[in-house]
Every structure is written in C-alpha cells, then in structure tokens.
Structure 1
Amino acid sequence: MRIHLTHVFVDDQEKALRFYTAVLGFVKKHDVPVGEDRWLTVVSPEDPDGTELLLEPSGHPAVQPYKTALVKDGIPAASFAVDDVQAEFDRLLRLGVHFTQEPLEMGPVTTAVLDDTCGNLIQIMHSK
C-alpha cells in the first residue's frame, strides 16, 4: 500500500495552481472540469508518477472553520520534503513568499512554515 493522492483545500484553484507550480515548482498532472470546479492535481517534477496533490476547492461549509482553526494554531495543512530547508527558504523568500516560521532545527529535522496564499500553512522539511 502507498499514498496515491492527498489534498489541500484552496480558496481559488487558479491562484493555487499558479502558486504551487510557478513558485513551489510542482507540475500540473490533471486538470479536469467537474461542474464549476476542477479535478486539479500537481506532482513533483522529480516523481511525476508519484503522489498527487489535489488542489481541492474549499466550498464545503466545514472547510473554512477547519482551515481557519489550523492557521490560527499554526498547524500546517501539508508537509513537503526538500533537500535543504535553508536554501529553499532563501529561494522562496526571494520570490516573495511569506513564512510564518523561519528555518528551525529540531534535532535531526529542520522545518520552516509558509503561507500558500490560498488559506493554508505549508511546512517544508528535511532530515539529516
């Protein structure tokens, strides 16, 4: 068994697609119209057949209170592995990304937390 698909709820799918591709560096995998919304997924360019991230519309009434509570408490909606948190932090900072947590070393793990501009906090991390 392996993880095939996971998701983040986004306020605006088009804005999310731009951020997750042009800024974070993912590539679009699927873009299928589904009523007013889309089945819109991105993948890592390093693993195009790997786990897909669904940029899921946050229209369900339970989603906004859930997202608001996570952000208020500083809890990331997802965590992405990078080779070097400091280098990725510096690259994303140059692109204007807002971080709620600068790189923080916690034993063998280093993390940073960014705002994805679509209502979520996202953690980047690497381990030694």
Structure 2
Amino acid sequence: MSPEDPDGVEPGAGAGRAPAARPFKAALVADGVPFTSFEVPDVRAEFERLRGLGVRFTQEPVDMGGFTTAVLDDTCGNLLMIASH
C-alpha cells in the first residue's frame, strides 16, 4: 500500500481474511513462495527505489538466466515477486 493512498489496492487482502485462506497464505510465506508477480522494466532499479522507500525484501535481485527476480514483503501477509527480462 502506498503512503499516498493508504486505502488503495491491497493484494490478496480480502481473500486472505477468510478463515480457509489463512493456512494457505501462511504456508506460502513460510516456504518463501510469492503470492503473485509483477513485471517491471528493471528489477535492480526497482529494488533500489523500493528499498529506499523502506520496503523489506526477502530476496534481493537474482539473475535466473534470462530474467531477474526479487521478492518483497507487502506488509499484508503476502510475498510479491518483481521480475524483468
């Protein structure tokens, strides 16, 4: 969520509050599995920008052979991946 729009988009928030979803979300986080991913033009630049804003990453940028990924904690109980080619 953005400090400029605290009532804005919150990925998976509604579904994550359902009792049946809690164990699923907890298992994903415990295993380090992202809930979803977003393509960005440059993972390393976006990593630096977001980290400068206080975002906590659980995986720093990693070259996966043809694309780069990083994983962040969205503070709503989800891990999100950013990726670029």
Normalised by the length of structure 1, the TM-score is 0.58
Question: Is the CA contact (8 Å cut-off) linking 2:32 and 2:79 kept in structure 1?
Answer: yes
Question: Does 2:52 align with 1:94?
Answer: yes
Larger radius of gyration: 1
User: In the alignment, what sits opposite 2:18?
Assistant: 60
Provide structure 2 residue ranges, at least 5 long, that are not aligned to the other structure.
Answer: none
Provide structure 1 residue ranges, at least 5 long, that are not aligned to the other structure.
Answer: 1-18, 32-39, 43-52
> Of residues 61, 77, 80 in structure 1, which corresponds to 2:38?
80
Q: 1:60, CA displacement in angstroms?
A: 1.5
Structure in which a larger fraction of residues adopt helix: 2
- Counterpart amino acid of 2:81? Q
User: In the alignment, what sits opposite 2:79?
Assistant: 121
RMSD: 2.1
> Of residues 101, 110, 123 in structure 1, which corresponds to 2:68?
110
Give the length in aligned residue pairs: 82
Structure in which a larger fraction of residues adopt strand: 1
Cα distance in 2 for partners of 1:67, 1:100 equals 16
Q: Which runs of 4+ in 1 moved over 3 A?
A: 53-56
Q: 1:56, CA displacement in angstroms?
A: 4.0
Structure number with greater CO (CA < 8 Å, separation at least 6) is 2
Percent of aligned positions that are identical? 55
Alignment deviations for residues 45-77 of structure 1 (CA, whole Å, 9 cap, x no partner) = xxxxxxxx8654122111110000000000000
